Amino acid sequence: MRPSLPKSSLQEPTNPLLYWGLFALLQVFLLLLAFAAGYIFHQWYTGDDLALVRRALTILTQNAYDPLPQPPAPQYGMIRGMLQAMNDPYTVFVEPPQAELQSNQLEGKYGGIGVRLERDADNYIRLFPLPDSPAARAGILENDRLLRVDGKEITPLLSYDEVQAAIRGRVGQHVKITVGREPAFQPIEYLVRRAEVPLPSVTWNLAPDEARVGVIQINVIAETTPAEVRKAIQDLQQRGATHFILDLRNNGGGLVEAGVDTARLFLEKGTIIQQQYRGEEVKTYSVERPGPFTALPLAVLVNQSTASAAEILAGALQGQGRAPLVGSPTYGKDSIQLVFDLGDGSSLHVTAARWWVPGLEPAIRGHGLQPDVPVSEDDPDQWLRTAVETVLSQTR
C-alpha cells in the first residue's frame, strides 16, 4: 500500500507570489535534474571505451596520410575488434553478401534467375543459364559476360559471394542484368523476374555394389531437411533399398529445430536434446509421437567436420541406441547462436545457449561424439564400406 501524503502538501499556497516563486524554482530544479540524468546516462551508455574509439577516429581523420576507408568499412572493423576481444569463435560478424547466402542455404531456397557462374581467363564472370530458367527465357545466352546487376558493376575483383548475393533477391521481383557478348562485349540489358530456386540440403543414391543400402547425404541442416530426408527414403525404398545410411560427414550444422525434427523421423520416444539460454530454465526437446522410420535399419557416418546441428541429429540417434556412429570423433560444438540482422544486410551471430544429449558421455564440448565403429582417417575408401557392413548386420 502506498503511504498517504500529508494533507498540507496537497494544498496551494495562499500567497500568489509565493506560489509562482515556488513554481519557478521547481521548473529550474526539474531542468537541472533532467540535465544531470542525461549526463549520467550518456556517460554510462557510451563508456570510456567508446570515448577511446572516438578519440582514435579523430586522430586518424586529422593525421593519417591515407584517407580512412569509406563507410561501412570502419564500423565493420570496430565490430570485428569487439568480437575478437570476446574470444568466442562462434560469436561472429557476417557481411551482407555472405549473410544473404547463409540465409538462403538455411531456408533451402532463394529467389534467383537460374544461372551457373564461372570465371573466364581474365577473371570475369560468365553466365550459363539453366534449361527453362528465368535467365534463359529472358534471352541470356551461355558464355555471356556479366557486366552489371541493377547498376552495380561486376568487376574481376568481386568475389563469387558478392556476385551471387547481387543476383539473388525476393521471388517475383525484377533484376536488371547487363551482359556483354563476344566478340565486342557491347552491353545488352535484360529485365529478369526472379523465381524460386530450390537449394537442396540432401542428396541420395544406392550404395555402389550393394543395392539394398540407400545412402542419404545431408550437407546442411536446413528448414527443408526433414521433408527432403522423407523424400529420399521413399525414393530409395521404391528402388529396392531396405537399409539406410545417413552421411553427415563435413556437415557443419544449421538450424536446431530442423536437426531435432530430422531426428524425430527415426525415433519412437524419449528425449532428443536439452538446451539452456542464459538465465532461463532448461528446455527439453522430446519425441512427441513415433516417427515414420523407426523400424528402418540405420547407421550414421560422421567425421571431424560433423558439427553443431548435425551433432544434435547424430547424438540423439546414438544416445537412444537407434543407430551406431561410424567414422571418427565429431567436432564437438555444443553452442547455439542467435542471428541478428544489423539493418544493412549484415548480421551478428551471438552464442546464446548450450545444448546436450542427456546421459551421453563424455560431454560433446572438447571431445565430440565418439564413433561406435571407428574408421581410420587414412583410408577414406573404407568409410562407406564399413558403414554398409555395419548397417547390413542389423536386424530390426
Cα–chain center distance at 117: 23
Same domain, 362 and 226: yes
Residue 339 lies in a domain: yes
Assess if residue 189 is contained within a domain. yes
pLDDT at 60: 87
147 and 194 co-located in one domain: yes
**172 and 251, same domain (yes or no):** no
- The yes-or-no verdict on residue 70 having pLDDT over 90 is no
Report, as an integer, the average pLDDT of 220-230: 95
Same domain, 189 and 222: no
Q: What is the pLDDT of residue 46?
A: 47
Classify residue 214 by burial, with Cβ atoms within 10 Å: 0-12, 13-18, 19+: buried
pLDDT at 24: 44
Q: What is the pLDDT of residues 174-209, one digit of tens each?
A: 999 999 999 999 999 999 999 988 878 999 999 988
* Position 255 in a domain: yes
pLDDT given for residue 270 in this prediction: 94
Q: Give the total number of structural domains in the chain.
A: 2
Determine the pLDDT at residue 5.
31
Residues in contact with 277: Cβ distance below 8 Å, sequence separation at least 6, in sequence order: 283, 336, 352, 353
- By DSSP bridging, strand 210-218 and strand 243-247 are parallel
164, 198, 232 - which closes a domain: 198
| Domain endpoint, select from 181, 198, 215 | 198
Task: Verify that 190 and 210 share a domain, yes or no.
Answer: no
Together in a domain, 214 and 346: yes
Is 81 part of a structural domain of the chain?
no
Residue 7 lies inside a defined structural domain of this protein: no
Mean pLDDT of 320-337: 94
Using the 3D structure, point to which of 198, 215, 245 is the last residue of a domain. 198
pLDDT tens for 126-175 read 999 988 899 999 999 999 999 999 999 999 999 888 898 899 988 899 99
Q: What is the tens place of the pLDDT at every residue in 342-372?
A: 988 899 999 999 999 988 877 788 789 999 9
86 found inside a domain: no
**Domain harbouring 290, CATH code:** 3.90.226.10
Residues 175 and 234 in one domain: no
325 and 185 fall within a common domain: no
**For residue 386, pLDDT beyond 90:** yes
Clarify whether residues 251 and 179 are in a common domain.
no
Weakest-pLDDT range from 77-86, 239-248, 381-390? 77-86
Q: What is the pLDDT of residue 328?
A: 94
Per-residue pLDDT at 73 exceeds 80 = yes
Task: Give me the CATH number covering residue 189.
Answer: 2.30.42.10
Question: Domain for residue 90, yes or no?
Answer: no
Retrieve residue 190's grid coordinates: 535484360
What pLDDT, on a 0 to 100 scale, did the predictor assign at position 248? 97
Q: What is the pLDDT of residue 10?
A: 31
The confidence band for 12, taking pLDDT boundaries of 50, 70 and 90, is very low
Find the DSSP H helices in the chain: 16-63, 73-86, 96-107, 134-138, 160-167, 225-238, 256-264, 309-319, 381-392
Residues 321 and 189 in one domain: no
CA angle 110–129–198, rounded 5-degree value: 25
Average pLDDT, the chain: 85
* % of the chain at pLDDT higher than 70: 86
Closest CA to 312 of 320, 172, 128: 320
Mean pLDDT of 320-336: 95
Residue 223 has pLDDT above 80, yes or no: yes
- Residue range 268-291, pLDDT digits in tens: 999 999 999 999 999 999 999 999
- Percent of all residues in the chain with a pLDDT value above 90, rounded to a whole number: 54
Say what the pLDDT of residue 95 is. Answer: 85
pLDDT at 18: 40
Same domain for 327 and 286: yes
How much of the chain is helix, strand and coil, in % rounded to 5?
Answer: 35, 25, 40
- Contact of 154 with 119, CB cutoff 8 Å: no
Q: Is the pLDDT of residue 110 over 50?
A: yes
Answer whether residue 237 is part of any domain.
yes
pLDDT above 80: residue 47: no
| N-terminal to C-terminal alpha carbon distance within the chain | 68
Q: Do 287 and 365 share a domain, yes or no? A: yes
Domain range enclosing 206: 202-392
The pLDDT, as a whole number, for residue 48 is: 58
- Given a cut of 90, whether residue 296 has pLDDT beyond it is yes
